Amino acid sequence: MPRKVFVSGSFDLLHSGHIAFLQQAAQYGDLYVALGSDATIYELKGRMPINNEAERLYMMQSV
């Protein structure tokens, strides 16, 4: 049975470090990614994300 690998993040302004992180995590098994909502990011960081939730989801689905 393959391992399930779970990561989460805001991925706001997706960059090469995010891609490297996801590639490395995927080496350990089937990768599942949780994307922080706009409300959660505001709660944790005290600011709204630069790219909204729908834009960030679209970019993550493209990776």
Every domain of the chain and the residues it spans: 4-62
What pTM does this model have? Answer: 0.86
What per-residue confidence (pLDDT) applies to 30? 98
Tens of pLDDT, residue by residue over 2-39, are: 899 999 999 999 999 999 999 999 999 999 999 999 99
What does the alpha-carbon distance between residue 50 and residue 63 come to, in Å, rounded to a whole number?
19
Question: Under 8 Å CB-to-CB from 57, ≥6 apart: which residues?
Answer: 35
What does the alpha-carbon distance between residue 50 and residue 53 come to, in Å, rounded to a whole number?
9
What per-residue confidence (pLDDT) applies to 20? 98
Band (pLDDT 50/70/90 cuts) for residue 58 is very high
What per-residue confidence (pLDDT) applies to 1? 85
Query: Into which CATH architecture does domain 4-62 fall?
Result: 3-Layer(aba) Sandwich (3.40)
What does the alpha-carbon distance between residue 38 and residue 30 come to, in Å, rounded to a whole number?
26
